């Protein structure tokens, strides 16, 4: 069994300023997505981690987002703002201290209070007064969008308490520290969308993909040790289901098993939109299969044919063997990636397979997968988000 992560002087309250040394797209021409491979160098920090851990990253806003907001606020970025440590230029505070890509509800309410009586105040009041309309309104807008629609004068001291403070984002680590000493590799899907006539990006993914120069000690990071998503004993078979960015921890698990010479069999289910453009880490995974490290490797490219094919369809096609690995050979079953739909459907497919292959009633199959396998035997582990 993997050892756990030793404590470090660096943590969420005291992050380490790490260096980005590589940043390239794993998606190729024709992809609808931009999924990136990032290498974060841990320098002399002494930070240790094990496969299954995540990296916490404190994001910052892109200069363009800060400039656009300052322009709408009609404020000078050089304006000093008093902080406990002394005065800090407004631009620096906005860049590192606040979430600027999604407007806060308290800001919209603050704008409403400041609007003069009239049609605009009435219109915004109706939005704020309806829970659903208010949710929709803030989901697609940033501060700049709101100020364009409802210009109100605000000083820096008035604006800042109305904005939400920055919070770190977690990324499943995609590297084995034995294969890449002093490095953390990440697999990051860049969030991009266009609303109200302006291009927008996810806060952390926009920053990591486009806002951080290489080789500068600037990214505040810390290890978030996993409580439960540990590798299995070296001889145990391991089944990994990781579509999209869900592949990340399994690249780490496989690299670690290769270096350790672990004897357990490895079965990977990977899926994404199109084989030609979205087969993340194709070369490395195909090599792992050729070497025999990947005992079995099934892929599901959802948009290469008229009907959707997902990882759980591949599980079903291989139901007999999958059940044998789990029931007779003591395999550990791992799933990583989208929590809302994919992980639920994979869970349901496991239950279906337990019914069909194990001859269990629907209730007994659910009990076996969700209680016996997951809780009692701890052989069904999830890293979903």
Among 187, 266, 313, 318, binds ligand FAD (CB under 6 A): 187
Across the chain, which distance is largest between two alpha carbons, in Å? Answer: 73
Among 10, 58, 171, 325, binds ligand FAD (CB under 6 A): 171
Among 42, 337, 347, 373, binds ligand NAP (CB under 6 A): 337
Nearest-CB residue to ligand FAD?
202
CA angle 158, 103, 106 (to 5 degrees): 50
Among 298, 338, 356, 367, binds ligand NAP (CB under 6 A): 338
Examine residue 382 and tell whether it contacts ligand FAD (CB under 6 A).
Answer: no
Interacting partner of 27 out of ligand NAP, ligand FAD, none (Cβ under 5 to 8 A depending on kind): none
Q: Which of residues 97-116 bind ligand FAD (CB under 6 A)?
A: 101
Closer residue to ligand FAD in complex, CB, 334/368:
334
Among 30, 130, 135, 139, binds ligand FAD (CB under 6 A): 139
Ramachandran bin of 22, using left for φ above 0, alpha for ψ from -120 to 50, beta for the remaining angles: beta
CA distances from 70 to 74, 95, 140 (A): 6, 11, 20
Residues with Cβ within 8 Å of residue 351, at least 6 apart in sequence: 362, 365, 366, 369, 370
Residue 130's Cβ-side half-sphere holds a number of Cα atoms within 13 Å equal to 9
Examine residue 189 and tell whether it contacts ligand NAP (CB under 6 A).
Answer: yes
Dist. CA 364–CA 54, nearest whole Å: 34
Residue 206's Cβ-side half-sphere holds a number of Cα atoms within 13 Å equal to 18
Closer residue to ligand NAP in complex, CB, 67/298:
298
CA distances from 204 to 70, 216, 244 (A): 20, 17, 18
Instruction: State the minimum distance, in angstroms, from the CB of residue 385 to ligand NAP.
Output: 7
Examine residue 61 and tell whether it contacts ligand FAD (CB under 6 A).
Answer: no
- Return phi, psi of residue 221, to 5°: -135, 160
Size of the site for ligand FAD (CB under 6 A): 22
Closer residue to ligand FAD in complex, CB, 74/196:
196
Only one residue has tokens 């208010």, namely: 134
Dist. CA 332–CA 315, nearest whole Å: 15
Among 54, 172, 175, 273, binds ligand NAP (CB under 6 A): 273
CA distances from 117 to 37, 108, 113, 123, 124 (A): 51, 16, 10, 11, 11
Interacting partner of 202 out of ligand NAP, ligand FAD, none (Cβ under 5 to 8 A depending on kind): ligand FAD
Examine residue 172 and tell whether it contacts ligand NAP (CB under 6 A).
Answer: no
Closer residue to ligand NAP in complex, CB, 144/245:
245
Instruction: State the minimum distance, in angstroms, from the CB of residue 226 to ligand FAD.
Output: 8
Interacting partner of 314 out of ligand FAD, ligand NAP, none (Cβ under 5 to 8 A depending on kind): none
Total Cβ atoms within 10 A of residue 79: 16
The span from the first CA to the last CA of the chain, in angstroms, equals 25
Size of the site for ligand NAP (CB under 6 A): 20
Q: Residue numbers of the site for ligand NAP (CB under 6 A)?
A: 35, 189, 243-246, 271-273, 302-303, 308, 310-312, 337-338, 341-342, 345
């Amino acid at each position: 069994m993997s050892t756990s992560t030793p404590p470090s002087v660096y943590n969420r309250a005291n992050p380490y300023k790490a260096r980005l040394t590589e940043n390239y797209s794993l998606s190729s021409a024709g992809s609808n997505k931009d999924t990136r491979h990032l290498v974060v160098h841990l320098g002399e920090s002494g930070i240790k981690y094990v496969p299954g851990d995540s990296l916490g990253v404190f994001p910052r806003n892109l200069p363009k987002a800060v400039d656009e907001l300052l322009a709408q606020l009609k404020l000078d970025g050089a304006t000093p703002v008093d902080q406990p440590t002394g005065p800090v230029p407004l631009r620096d505070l906005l860049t590192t201290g606040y979430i600027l890509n999604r407007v806060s509800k308290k800001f919209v309410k603050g704008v409403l209070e400041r609007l003069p009586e009239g049609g605009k105040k009435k219109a915004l009041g109706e939005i704020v007064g309806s829970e659903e309309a208010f949710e929709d309104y803030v989901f697609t807008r940033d501060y700049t969008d709101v100020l364009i629609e409802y210009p109100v004068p605000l000083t820096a001291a008035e604006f800042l308490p109305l904005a939400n403070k920055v919070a770190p984002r977690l990324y499943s680590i995609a590297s084995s520290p034995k294969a890449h000493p002093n490095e953390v590799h990440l697999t990051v899907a860049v969030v991009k969308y266009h609303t109200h006539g302006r291009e927008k990006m996810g806060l952390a993914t926009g920053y990591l993909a486009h806002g951080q120069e290489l080789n500068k000690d600037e990214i505040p990071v810390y290890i978030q040790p996993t409580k439960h998503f540990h590798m299995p004993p070296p001889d145990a078979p391991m089944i990994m289901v990781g579509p999209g960015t869900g592949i990340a921890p399994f690249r780490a698990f496989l690299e670690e098993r290769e270096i350790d010479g672990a004897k357990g069999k490895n079965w990977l289910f990977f899926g994404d939109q199109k084989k030609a453009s979205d087969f993340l880490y194709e070369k490395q995974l195909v090599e792992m299969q050729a070497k025999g490290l990947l005992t079995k490797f099934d892929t599901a490219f959802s948009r290469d044919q008229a009907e959707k094919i997902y990882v759980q369809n591949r599980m079903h096609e291989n139901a007999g063997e999958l059940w044998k690995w789990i029931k007779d050979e003591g395999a550990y079953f791992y799933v990583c990636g989208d929590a809302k739909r994919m992980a639920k459907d994979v869970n349901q497919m496991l239950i279906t397979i337990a019914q069909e292959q194990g001859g269990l009633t629907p209730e007994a199959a659910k009990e076996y997968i969700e209680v016996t396998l997951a809780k009692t035997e701890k052989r069904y582990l999830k890293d979903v988000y």
